[in-house]
Structure 1
């Protein structure tokens, strides 16, 4: 499965983003992220007001808009400001969280603190009652018979989707298009795996300590295999 990353220099800003920004008196300050499906996210600025983030995608963002709108009053995550559909393209505009991605240069220099924030965030998300969820099983997980603990799961719990505050604490979750109900090990397996992708080996213990559980190798292997078999589009 391809990894998301910062956009390379020269990446064009999608017209749907520039048009939305111009209509509301905002400028595109920078492109901050490109996901594995080719979608890009831009930071929009204007004098005297907070930043917004506009995510453009060639894949329908309505599921993410619905999930983020539902979650934002229950768990730290961005507020949805707008959603637009173009001709085979979609735009989701959200508020900003006060912090930076767990894989920013700041936190790559302190990977154990980042790993702990990721574990802290998932522990908070998983403390929500899954019976209140409006959404079904996480798509790539499907039906699994042997459930350890059913939770509201992020569904794409890779390190970049955790925002970390200046003090190293968990601030919120982003990229919520896969949110649903699943065994907690669906998130834990992928989050712990992504630590090595982003920071190199040797940082999982801080993650497990912050979440408050010991790793279960069999469940981890099970969900990593399901993730590896999942389609990328």
Structure 2
């Protein structure tokens, strides 16, 4: 499943109850089947039971990040037998894959690169209680004990799984520890009308890691959302030359771990 606008979907009963008669508009579906709904000036994230999505994990990270970044105000959360939900206040701005920014990918790519650098500079590593380290993510892959090559990107499909796992088990030395977003793909940054970062969303994996864990996937997402050719603008705006070895490694880790 590819993340994107969900089209027509059934509104779960708990989400309908939260709306209390107000119009409910589905706006996003993620790769695990989680849904996001717009209700007035609120957004409700919905994780179906069994999806593997942990919205409680995101709630605690939102509370911590709010002291340092423009992130959605957490209004509530809860769970039922059918799933769990997270309610936040909307942030003014448009998703970086909104048609406005898909029509101006150069502006978006620069904003995403400079925005990620600002995020890395703003969040204090010493005070962060969360980890997104390569070691923790590698351990999760091996503990899970199952891999689905059908869900991997083209550059990894067809390669021997054993070779990929051997590469995964040997991460490159850390370049610079930062607090990473954890899912720095283009849809998770909001831009204002001037093409500047207005806020960040989907912080469920936020934690301390090498900055290339974010950079590798954030730059990769430009291809998925805008097409080829925009990564140089992204790295220039971030302020770092591409590191091919770390980019390759952290893209592999993303495919196998997430």
SS for the counterpart of 2:228 is coil
Q: C-alpha deviations, 1:137-158, integer Å up to 9, x for none?
A: 3553669561000000011111
Q: Which has the larger radius of gyration?
A: 2
User: In the alignment, does 2:137 pair up with 1:137?
Assistant: no
Q: Does the CA-based 8 Å contact 1:117-1:210 persist in structure 2?
A: yes
Residue aligning to 2:148: none
Give the CA RMSD over aligned residues. 1.6
Q: C-alpha deviations, 1:146-201, integer Å up to 9, x for none?
A: 10000000111111001111110011110111111100000000000000011100
Q: Does the CA-based 8 Å contact 2:132-2:205 persist in structure 1?
A: no
Q: Does the CA-based 8 Å contact 1:7-1:34 persist in structure 2?
A: yes
Distance in 1 between residues matched to 2:106 and 2:172, nearest whole Å: 33
SS for the counterpart of 2:101 is helix
Q: C-alpha deviations, 1:23-56, integer Å up to 9, x for none?
A: xxx61341111111111111111xxxxx011111
Give structure 1 stretches of 5+ with no counterpart: 46-50
How many residues are treated as equivalent by the alignment?
Answer: 221
User: In the alignment, does 2:248 pair up with 1:221?
Assistant: yes
Distance in 1 between residues matched to 2:31 and 2:187, nearest whole Å: 12
Q: Does the CA-based 8 Å contact 1:141-1:227 persist in structure 2?
A: no
Give structure 2 stretches of 5+ with no counterpart: 140-168
Q: C-alpha deviations, 1:40-75, integer Å up to 9, x for none?
A: 111111xxxxx0111111233100011111111211
SS for the counterpart of 1:56 is strand
Larger helix share, 1 or 2 = 2
The equivalent position to 2:64 in structure 1, one of 49, 67, 70, is 70
Distance in 1 between residues matched to 2:230 and 2:138, nearest whole Å: 25
Larger relative contact order (Cα-Cα within 8 Å, sequence gap ≥ 6): 2
Residue aligning to 2:34: 39
Distance in 2 between residues matched to 1:122 and 1:91, nearest whole Å: 27
**1:121 deviation in Å?**
1.7
